[in-house]
Each structure stands twice: as C-alpha cells, then as structure tokens.
Amino acid sequence: MKHLIAPSILTADFANLQKEIMMLNKSAADWIHLDIMDGVYVPNISFGFPVLESVKKIAEKPLDVHLMIANVEHYLKRFKDAGADILTVHYEACTHLQRTVTEIRLLGMKAGVALNPHTPVTLLKNIFPYIDMVLIMTVNPGYGGQHFIEESWNKIPELRKMIDESKYNILIQVDGGVDLKNARLLVDAGVDVLVVGNTVFSSDNPAETILRLKKLED
C-alpha cells in the first residue's frame, strides 16, 4: 500500500482555518489529522467538538482524530457525531482498552491505539484483533513542533514484524517530528501513515510540501 499523508491542523493558522482545510481538500493529503487535548492527560488544551464539527462541514478527506484526553470512554459517540472517521485513543489513558476500541468500531469508526514514546509495542499484541491502526508517538504528546525522539526508531520495525506475523490488517502511523528528511526512512521502516504538522504549515507552499511527502521525492 502506498503510504498516506495526514496533515495535523494543530499548527495550522486558526484565524484562517477554513482556508487551510480547503487547501488540504485540494492537496495530495489523504486524511486530516486533529489532535484533541484536554489539559489533563497532556499539559495542553487544543480544541474540542465545535472545531471538529466545523472542520467536518468543509473537509473532503477522512477526519483522523487523535484523542489525548482522560476518560475517553465518555465521549466516543460525541466524536462520532461530530465527524470523526478514525478515532485513536492512548493505551496509557484507557483502563479497559479492549472495551473502548470495540465500542469505537461498533459506532462505525476505525479504531486506533496510540503509544507514548516510553511505552513498548509488545503490550499491544493481545489488542490486535480489535484495532485498525497503531499510532507511535515519536514526541511526547501535548505540543506541536517538537523534535523527533531518536529512540523511537527501534519501535517501528518491531511493531511491523509483530503485525505482519499476526496477519491482521493494521496500519502503523507515526506522529511527531516527521519532516522531509526522515519521511522516506520512516516509510522504508514500515510506516503506513505519516502525520505531519509543522513541516507542512510552516512551509512557504504547504500543498507542494504535502505532495513532496506523498511522492517522497527530493
């Protein structure tokens, strides 16, 4: 499968958010990534249901929603109703992970599980039958524009091997510090979905940057 590009609007220009979403609609992006933070699970607050609902009205690409919040089980249907197509929850934030991801699927969304940089991928083996994607965080969650944590590299081929041997159709997504220099290496290591924020929205031509990330041409 050709790798997917999911630009994160966390670093977009929120004063011109409609324009930014329309740019993504016309670009080579595959998904639109939204980071939801509550100031409890992570030390930052981003945006919630009103922004997600507004983006859904404009977006022509699937909405890939990454929940960095506590008590996720209380809000799953709300996120479905607000427009989420893919809903990713953190392993570290879910007391009953299997129940949570099963409910996400029952609501008609794809279910993802995110791992913080310090969390080993081996902990996910028994959840493979219930999920569609694993998100490897390559920065500590909470803020955009951070540098890639180099120790994260080892987790990607390890997870790739686990998934391939399991025979389940599970995507590997990476979020944090992805740029034009490491994108090719990440895909070659086994990543299916690249979440890219600052690299896209701080560039002079975001649509062209997305195209370069999609084609992986220098």
Helices 206-215 and 17-26: crossing angle in degrees, nearest 10, is: 40
Task: Count other C-beta atoms under 10 Å from residue 125's C-beta.
Answer: 11
In this structure, are residues 117 and 142 in contact, taking their beta carbons and an 8 Å threshold?
no
For 169, phi and psi rounded to 5 degrees? -90, 85
CA distance linking residue 86 with residue 134, whole number of Å: 11
Q: Taking phi first (over 0 means left), then psi (-120 to 50 degrees means alpha), and beta for anything else, what does residue 178 get?
A: beta
Check residue 122 and give its pLDDT: 96
What's the number of CA atoms in the CB half-sphere (13 Å) around residue 71?
6
pLDDT in tens, 96-137: 999 999 999 999 999 999 999 999 999 999 999 999 999 999
**What is the value of pTM for the model shown?**
0.94
CA distance linking residue 59 with residue 168, whole number of Å: 30
Which strands, in side-by-side order, build the sheet including 171-175? Answer: 4-7, 193-196, 171-175, 133-137, 110-115, 86-90, 63-68, 32-37
Residue from 30, 35, 38, 64 carrying the catalytic annotation? 35
Check residue 166 and give its pLDDT: 95
Q: What single letter denotes the amino acid at residue 72?
A: V
Name the token pair of 73: 């089980």
Residue from 30, 38, 64, 175 carrying the catalytic annotation? 175
Check residue 143 and give its pLDDT: 62
The CATH H-level superfamily of 4-215 is Aldolase class I (3.20.20.70)
- Establish whether 38 is a catalytic residue: no
Check residue 217 and give its pLDDT: 63
Residue 154, classed as helix, strand or coil, is helix
Helices 49-58 and 17-26: crossing angle in degrees, nearest 10, is: 40
Residue 121: C-alpha distances to residues 46, 137, 169, 176 (Å): 27, 11, 16, 17
- Establish whether 204 is a catalytic residue: no
Low-confidence stretches of the chain (pLDDT beneath 70): 1, 142-146, 217-218
Check residue 146 and give its pLDDT: 66
